[in-house]
Structure formats: structure tokens, C-alpha cells
Amino acid sequence: MKIKNFFEFSNSINEQFSLKTSEKVLELILKYLNSKLGTLYQLPGFETIKKESGELLYGIHYIDNEGNSIRFNWDLKGKDSTEIHSVDFFAPENMFSNPNVTLFLFGESIAKILPAVVEIFKKRNQNIDISKYYIKESIQRINEIRRKQDDKSVIEPIVTKAVKERKKKTRIEEDAEKLLDKTEYADPDTIFDDVDAYVDMVINKIQPSLIICGAPGIGKTYGITKRIKDSGLKSIEPIDLPDATDVEDLDNQSDILNAETDGDWVHIKGASTAFGLYMSLFKYKNKLIVYDDCDSIFKDKNAVNLLKGALDSSDKRIISWVSKTTTNKKAEVPQRFEFTGRIIFISNLNAKDLDSAVRNRSFVVDIQLKLSDVLKRIQSILKYIGKDLEVPLSDDAKNRAFQFLEEASKDKNNKMEISIRTLINFAKIAQSGVPQWRRLMEIQAKNI
């Protein structure tokens, strides 16, 4: 059935939705679906769906030109809806009646499974493996995405956090864990599309924090900072902040710390102490902060405690530092303040090495790519690499360097790191103009 006027399907959609951030959430969902499925139309208003328990769900419908549709069902809790309960998939002939397939979220973030929504919509059935769309928190906490045995139209993910569900694993779940344990990578096109979606949610203040961790040298920083710049946010030039708790070091710092900062986001690189973290959180307390390669803060208990406060889900996120630095009469730094900003962490650590309290307060993407996928990722952004260097890299130099990396990747005895960093170094050699450029690359390959 072709859709001439999608408003004709809106007769039973009459409920208002109360979630404060609903417009931004729905806008991002529709934007993502349109990028993957072509043009979809959002039907006006909200449907009312009554659960068997008597509770009400409120649904928003998206429909394509053929009449196939998706409905996202929100579970109201108090005054606001705090999560999406499920996603229904309808064929044209049974729209507004019984869905062909239902995907239950059970507390999972909709952002994590939007790629699965796309695949189900395309295939029109439940016979898919959507385990690849879920982020591994640790090997022990991965559960199989399984179908509800008494209703094969239902795709039901098990809660991934073991602390929420301690029931004995089934044989199917145990077999699935063994299979997933062997998966050490994700398709780069899929995972970096997902990273963009998560970054958008932080930019639009839907989610306060995001952690992108895993394999070094694959363009994590490039992708995230480009996404932020493309959003139109104005960057802030970071300033040197006191990184020690000596009161004398903080003399005459009040003007710097309390001065209004012009801009929307700041990129902070390198190691930091817990107090240095406190200072940056205070200085940029209402901004988007990107902490890049600041892995030391994840290993400092005091820093982790600060992050717990900064990333808490409560209405007011209060951060405090009580010491002579903040209680002294000469103190220029407050003992406590409210943090209203957002944070994106870029780390080379594995997700399982991060404090669970920090992970649980954030979206987490653990990027683990196999060698061929690292090369695929590098090739996909090759034309952008090295543009910001003092002497920009030529396309010819980068192509020669990339070809060298491809050849090296096929050598089983090669142990050098294949990453964007090594490509840049080799491209510099290729661009130098020396006739023995290839031999110089081979020397570097052995040394690194």
C-alpha cells in the first residue's frame, strides 16, 4: 500500500507526551532512521498502548512510503517517561493492530540498538542475530540476545548488567558467551556510525557523558572532534590550570578560574591529577569537555569519586573538594559547585579496565578492531589525515604509506603497530623526496 497522505493514519493517535527531552530524542531517532532506511514520516501525536498488567505505554509511529512502520513505545514513570519499553514493527496490512515483531529493551538504551532496529525493519522478520549491536562491558557480563520461547515474534535482550539479574544462565546463553568471547572486533563502518549517534546525544544534552575506549591510532579523536565541530559548537582554547593542591600555587588565580569562558566545548589532552580534574570541571562546569588520553584519572580513586558526582543521574550534580586548598582563608577555589556540563572521554584503555561506577553512568563504546578493519578505518578517512600538520601531507605520500601498511599487514612476522600514527610517520618519509623512501620505511617498521 502506497502512502499518499500519512495524516490519514493518525485517527487513533491523540495522546500528548510528557518527556522533557522528547523532541530532541525523537528528532535524533528519525534522523538516524532516515540515514539508514530512506525517508520515514513521523505520524503526529502519540498512541496509547495498554499492557497486560493494565499499565499504559505511549507510542510514536514512523512509516515509509510502502506502509511499513515502526513504533517506539515509551514507559511512563511518574511525570516523565524515563525509557523506551519496546519497539514494534508492522506490515502495511496490520498497522495499528498486531505487530509482526516486537523488540523489548528491558532498560537498555535505545541508542545502543538502533542499528538492530534498522536490520529488523529491512528483513521484516525476527530471524536475525542482534548480539553484535550490544556493547560488551566485560567478558563475564555478556548475555545472548535470545527469542522468547513462547512467542517467536518477540526478540528479547537479556539485561547485560549481571548485578541486575542473577538467575542461572541457560545452555543457550552459555554457548553464546563462548562465541562472543572470540569476537575481538566490530565492523568499523557500523561502530563509527554508532559513535556519531552517541556524540550527537551528548551534544544535544540528552546524555551527560560518553566513553570511547579501546584500540589506539584508529581515529577516535578525529571522528569525535569532527562531529562536534560539524555540529556548530564553538571551541574553547584550553588554558593552563593549577594541577597541584598547594595553596601558594593558587594565589591570584581567581580571575582566571571565574572568568566567563567564550565558547561551547573544550578539548583537554594528557595526564591529570585528581585536583587538576577538579579544576577543569570547575572552570568548564557548564561546557562540553572532551578529555583525551587522560587515562590517569581512571586509576585515581579521588578522581573517580569526582567523576561519580559529575556524571550522576540526579537533578543536581554536586562536586566537592574539601582540603586546605579550598578551606584556607586564601582559598580561591570553592569547596563545592554544581556541574551542569557534559563529558566525552577518549581512552586507550579497555572498557573492562574502567571503574564500573563510571561505566554505569555513561554510554560506553569499546572499539576493538582486527587488523584488516583497522586498515579499512584508516582508508575511510585517509583524505583527511595530516591536513592540520605544519606541512600538510600530500595524497600521493599518504597513498604510498597506506600501501606499505597493507603489505606489512600480510607479513605474519611483522609486529609493528598499524595505526594512523604509523601512517603519518611513513607518509612524512614518502613526502620527503628521498629516493630510498621505501627502505627508510622498512627500517622504521623494524624499529617500531
- For residues 30 and 108, membership in a common domain is answered with yes
Least confident span in 21-25, 164-168, 380-384: 164-168
Domain membership of residue 189 (yes or no) is no
Centre a 10 Å sphere on the Cβ of residue 66 and count the other Cβ atoms it contains.
11
Of 352, 367, 382, the one marking the end of a domain is 367
- pLDDT of the residue at 428: 94
What would the mean pLDDT of 206-212 be, rounded to a whole number? 90
Same domain, 146 and 217: no
Higher pLDDT, 241 or 254: 241
252/43: higher pLDDT: 43
Q: How many domains does the chain have?
A: 3
Does 438 map to a domain? Answer: yes
* Any domain includes 222: yes
Residues 250-263: b if buried by 16+ CB within 10 A, e if exposed = beeeeeebeeeeee
Domain boundary among 367, 387, 414: 367
Tell whether 28 and 164 lie within a shared domain.
Answer: yes
Measured between alpha carbons, how far is 13 from 37 in angstroms, rounded to an integer? Answer: 23
Supply the range of the domain harboring residue 304.
Answer: 206-367
Contacts of residue 170, Cβ cutoff 8 Å, sequence gap at least 6: 146
The mean of the pLDDT values for the chain is 75
395 lies in a domain? yes
Q: Are residues 77 and 168 in the same domain?
A: yes
101/177 same-domain check: yes
Choice among 183-197, 205-219, 290-304, 376-390 with the minimum mean pLDDT: 183-197
- CA dist 284 and 263 (Å) reads 10
What DSSP letter does each residue of 351-398 carry, written as one string?
A: GGGS-HHHHHTSEEEEE---HHHHHHHHHHTGGGTTTTSSSPPPHHHH
What grid cell was written down for 369? 578492531
Residue 112 placed within a domain: yes
Please report the pLDDT score of residue 394 as a whole number: 94
**Strand pairing of 47-50 and 56-63?**
antiparallel
Rounded CA separation 371/289 (Å):
31
**Range with the largest mean pLDDT of 21-35, 57-71, 178-192:** 57-71
The Cα 377–Cα 375 span in angstroms is 5
Annotate 114-139 with b (16+ C-beta within 10 A) or e (fewer).
Answer: bbbbbebbeeeebebebbbbbbbbbe
Classify residue 216 as exposed, middle or buried by CB count within 10 Å of its CB (0-12, 13-18, 19+). middle
In sequence order, what are the beta bridge partners of 83? Answer: 75
> In this predicted structure, what is the pLDDT of residue 215?
76
Q: What is the Cα–Cα distance from 10 to 69, expressed in whole angstroms? A: 13
Task: Indicate if the pLDDT at residue 440 is higher than 60.
Answer: yes
Task: Tell me what percent of the residues of the chain surpass a pLDDT of 70.
Answer: 70
Q: Are residues 244 and 267 in the same domain?
A: yes
Low-confidence winner among 2-11, 231-240, 303-312, 435-444 (lowest mean pLDDT): 2-11
DSSP output for 140-171: GG---EEE-TT-TTEEEEPPS-GGG--PPPPH
* Residue 48 shares a structural domain with residue 81: yes
- For the chain, the helix, strand and coil percentages under 3-state DSSP, each to the nearest 5: 40, 20, 40
- Claim to verify: residue 229 and residue 143 sit in the same structural domain: no
pTM over 0.75: no
Pick from 148-157, 181-190, 333-342 the range whose average pLDDT is largest: 333-342
Give a yes or no: residue 334 inside a domain.
yes
Answer yes or no: is pLDDT of 244 > 90: no
Residues 340 and 385 occupy one common structural domain: no
Give the residue with greater pLDDT, 273 vs 123.
Answer: 273
Residues 6 or more apart whose Cβ sits within 8 Å of residue 63: 3, 6, 9, 40, 41, 43, 69, 70, 95
Question: Are 46 and 172 in the same domain?
Answer: yes
Q: Is residue 190 part of a domain?
A: no
Q: Which three cell numbers stand for residue 189?
A: 563502518
Same domain, 360 and 382: no
Residue 41 lies in a domain: yes
Query: Is the domain of 313 the same as that of 338?
Result: yes
pLDDT exceeds cutoff 70 at 117:
yes
b/e map of 421-434 (b: 16 or more CB within 10 Å)? ebbbebbbbbbeee
Domain boundary among 181, 198, 220: 181
CATH number at residue 346: 3.40.50.300
pLDDT at 233: 95
